[in-house]
Chains A and B, each alone.
Chain A
Amino acid sequence: MLVKSTSAEQRTVLHNISWETFEALLRDTGEDRGSRFAYDCGVLEIMTPLFEHENLKIQFGRFILVLAEELEIEIRSAGSTTLKRKISKRGIEPDTCYYIQSESRVRGRMTLNLETDPPPDLAIEIDITSSSVNKFGIYSALGVTELWRYDGQNFKFYQLIEGQYIECKFSIAFPIISVSEISRFIEQSKSMGEIALLKSFRAWVRGKIS
Chain B
Amino acid sequence: MLVKSNLAEQRTVLHNVSWETFEALLRDTGEDRGSLFAYDCGVLEIMTPLFEHENPKIQFDRLIFALAVELKTKIRSAGSTTLKRKTITKGIEPDTCYYIQNEPAIRGKQELDLKTDPAPDLAVEIDITSSSVNKFNIYAALGVGELWRYNGDILKFYQLVESQYIEIKFSIVFPLISVSDMNRFIQQSKTMDEIDLVQSFSAWVRAKIG
Contacts and interface: CB of A to CB of B under 8 A. Distances in A.
A5 B3 CA distance: 7
B199 interface: no
Contacts of A191: none
A1 B48 contact: yes
Q: How large is the interface on B (under 10, 10 to 19, 20 to 34, 35 or more residues)?
A: 20 to 34
B30 interface: yes
Q: Is the interface of A mostly helix, strand, loop or mixed?
A: loop
A6 B5 contact: yes
A101 B7 CA distance: 45
Contact of A46 (B7, B12, B16, B29): B12
Interface string A113-142: 000000000000000111000000000000
Interface stretch (B17-25, B62-70, B170-178): B17-25
B166 interface: no
Contacts of B15: 29, 33
Interface residues of A, number: 31
Nearest to A7: B3
B187 interface: no
A57 B18 CA distance: 31
Interface stretch (A17-25, A156-164, A168-176, A178-186): A17-25
Given A8-B3, A151-B1, 20 more contacts: A3-B50, A4-B2, A10-B10, A12-B46, A14-B25, A14-B46, A15-B33, A17-B28, A17-B29, A20-B24, A24-B18, A24-B21, A25-B21, A28-B14, A28-B21, A29-B15, A29-B17, A48-B12, A128-B1, A153-B1
5 closest Cβ contacts across the A-B interface? A1-B34, A5-B5, A6-B3, A21-B24, A24-B21
